[in-house]
Structure 1
Amino acid sequence: MDIGVLLPTGTAQWGETDDPRELIGFGRRAERLGFSSLFVNDSLISPRVEALTMLAALAPTTDSVTLGTAALLPFLRRPVQAAQSLASIDLLSGGRLTVTVGAGFPGRFGQPLYTLSEVPWAGRFTRLDETVALWRALWDGATHFHGQILRLDDIPPMTRPFRAGGPPVWLGGATPSALARTGRLYDGWLPYPPDPADYASGVAAIRSAGADAGRSAEDITCALFVSVRIDDDAERGRREMDAYAQATYGMPLDQLEKIQAVVTGSAAQVRERLEEYAAAGARHIVTRLGALGLRSQRDQLERLAELLPALRKLTLTQKLTWS
């Protein structure tokens, strides 16, 4: 099991006196505590440190953690320039980049951003898949690309990533179409379903689609994005997570947990819930810490780190059993 953490790059998660440059130290502390990965999210809905800028800052200041996006919205960027930026981060990090991508959602979390980017909402999934295919082609040295939407000729030489073929690309989303496309085209899956049973059915659908495409289960990393708050006082923990949901999404916790994986409670309760997702097939858990202010974020980071040995032991036991 790999356990990662989402860096609080959005201003909604900062206190009045917080310095965003502290995020570098936050990431380094997470690495020293034993977390496997540092992820950042991507949006224009609220002010934040831009995702690829944050990863570029972390690349030379960390040593071994995976650096990832959860999730990058490729339509916000020109495809060729994005391929160059991603290859550069992979190069500077020594091959530690993982790129999760998404197409956005209907409503204020997606459609207005397409308008700002001067990209049509229609055909967004085809555009997303073609953009990833273009990136991979450029990382392999292609000089032209002809898709349904993206058609480019005479492409100059591009920066090559650290790893041959470029960084792994995961897909977010859990619709039947997303599951099928993950199985056929992507290196991993990073959804946030509230119910572990839905996660298990998604894993099964992805593996079925992958098998039909001649791929093995090992070709696709099944990951999970989950908001976590550890608190011995259950009522206080829910209050704090509710404040986080309101600040981040403008919605109360009871609405957020209907659409996203949210885990609150004591350390034992959080561990038990995460174990359910591990049993459902999750092999990389990206945790978003339900706390406002970098000091509270660091406190939650330290508390969650205490669970790392138990979660890793659980997965090893499962792997030995399943083999």
Structure 2
Amino acid sequence: MNSPVRTGVLLPIGRAQWGEGTDPRGLVGFGVRAERLGYDSLWVNDSLIEPRIESLAMLSALTPVTSRVTLGTAALMPVLRRPVQTAQALASLDLLSGGRLTVTVGAGFPGRLGRPLHALSEVPWERRFARLDETVALWRKLWTAEGPTSFHGEVLRFDDIPRTTPVFRPGGPDIWLGGNTPAARARTGRLYDGWLPYPPDPADYATGLAEVREAAKQAGRDPAGLSSALFVSVLLADTPAEGRRGLEAYSRANYKMELDQLETIQALTAGPPEHVVAYLRRYVDAGARHLVIRIGALDLATQTEQLERLAELLPQLRGCA
């Protein structure tokens, strides 16, 4: 499965990443610059807790000013949104982008990043995984229905839904799952088009991908047809120690936790280019074929500088497979 390695970048749509006093309209230019530098994809994440540009609004702004890159969510939390209206919004993005949309979804996190979001959205925390899977199934049904339709799941039930906005591609955009629990890996193989986790150990990525593919095989699906991606935080620096200090500040600003704790949860690397490439190559060797890079910087100027420096590594990363 030595398919080419693709590399994308997460736009810093949270105010903690673009920096106080910076005009967030510069994020559009950031995305345009990334496409011109040769990145394969642009991604946005999703939250209601902190000040940020809403994820689908950001992708809408990028749609008319880009022409080649995949536009993706990493990850969207559909359970916080009205499912029928979200199906229409995603279909519209897919249509207006010429079929360049990929939708990674997740069910949220416990603690301050989970239950408060559900409370604000008036959605029960219980059965969130079933709600997520049924939301995706509903989207796919709406995107393929020839006329008014109904949907009867265990959590979601709708009758007489009018036909929604058509999608650009038959069946609609690919939908990936961002979870990395055993249950999430099994659900990815059975129900989704790709996998976008962030395990801190490449060996765990390899084991997890094998589980995803086995679940797909057991469900009668082609394992080779599933996309294998990695979400990873990166910061280029002259030395690993300098890079680590930068990621420490990033971790505290974004997660309110120490880097020692974050690195037990997420894939992240910092240091000179050769150090970063060697780290990412281990995940490529484990099977990752789409690298979604989150730049660990706290203002748009540094994000852009890092974007330029990382672009110089794209040929090496594409040659890792």
Same fold per superposition (TM over 0.5): yes
Instruction: State the distance in 1 between where 2:317 and 2:258 align.
Output: 29
Q: Deviations over 1:54-109 (max 9, x none)?
A: 00111111011000001000011100000000000001100000000000111111
Partner of 2:266: 260
Of residues 276, 285, 288, the one that matches 2:282 is 276
Instruction: State the distance in 2 between where 1:37 and 1:252 align.
Output: 29
RMSD over aligned CA atoms reads 0.9
Partner of 1:76: 80
Partner of 2:202: 196
| TM-score after normalising by structure 2 | 0.97
Q: Percentage identity across aligned positions?
A: 65
Instruction: State the distance in 2 between where 1:15 and 1:207 align.
Output: 40
Q: Compute the displacement of 1:234 (Å).
A: 2.3
Of residues 2, 14, 19, the one that matches 1:10 is 14
For residues 234 and 71 of structure 1, do their structure 2 counterparts lie closer, same or farther at Cα, with a shift above 3 Å needed?
same
Of residues 203, 217, 240, the one that matches 1:234 is 240
Of residues 289, 314, 318, the one that matches 1:312 is 318
Q: Compute the displacement of 1:9 (Å).
A: 0.2
1:210-221 → structure 2 map (5 Å cutoff): 210-221=216-227
Instruction: State the distance in 1 between where 2:184 and 2:20 align.
Output: 39
Instruction: State the distance in 2 between where 1:20 and 1:123 align.
Output: 36
Letter in 2 for 1:143: T
Instruction: State the distance in 1 between where 2:280 and 2:18 align.
Output: 26
Partner of 1:86: 90
Given the alignment of the two structures, is residue 100 of structure 1 paired with residue 115 of structure 2, yes or no?
no
Instruction: State the distance in 1 between where 2:248 and 2:320 align.
Output: 30
SS in 1 for 2:292: strand
Given the alignment of the two structures, is residue 149 of structure 1 paired with residue 155 of structure 2, yes or no?
yes
| TM-score after normalising by structure 1 | 0.96
Letter in 2 for 1:255: Q
Letter in 1 for 2:39: F
SS in 2 for 1:144: strand
Given the alignment of the two structures, is residue 26 of structure 1 paired with residue 30 of structure 2, yes or no?
yes
Instruction: State the distance in 1 between where 2:207 and 2:239 align.
Output: 33
Which runs of at least 4 in structure 1 moved beyond 3 Å after TM superposition? none
Instruction: State the distance in 1 between where 2:19 and 2:179 align.
Output: 31
Instruction: State the distance in 2 between where 1:58 and 1:192 align.
Output: 25
Q: Compute the displacement of 1:135 (Å).
A: 0.2
Unaligned segments of structure 1, at least 5 residues:
316-323
Instruction: State the distance in 2 between where 1:119 and 1:29 align.
Output: 38
Letter in 1 for 2:131: R
Q: Compute the displacement of 1:127 (Å).
A: 0.4
SS in 2 for 1:194: coil
Contact 2:242 2:271 in 1 (8 A): no
Given the alignment of the two structures, is residue 62 of structure 1 paired with residue 33 of structure 2, yes or no?
no
Partner of 1:118: 122
Letter in 1 for 2:174: P
Instruction: State the distance in 2 between where 1:16 and 1:186 align.
Output: 38
Partner of 1:321: none
Q: Compute the displacement of 1:236 (Å).
A: 1.8
Instruction: State the distance in 2 between where 1:254 and 1:305 align.
Output: 28
Instruction: State the distance in 1 between where 2:240 and 2:202 align.
Output: 21
Q: Deviations over 1:22-65 (max 9, x none)?
A: 01110011001111000000011211000000001111110110
Work out the number of aligned pairs and report it.
315
Letter in 2 for 1:62: T
Given the alignment of the two structures, is residue 295 of structure 1 paired with residue 301 of structure 2, yes or no?
yes
Contact 2:177 2:195 in 1 (8 A): yes
Instruction: State the distance in 2 between where 1:272 and 1:14 align.
Output: 28
Instruction: State the distance in 1 between where 2:242 and 2:317 align.
Output: 25
SS in 2 for 1:170: strand
Letter in 1 for 2:231: F
Instruction: State the distance in 2 between where 1:179 and 1:105 align.
Output: 16
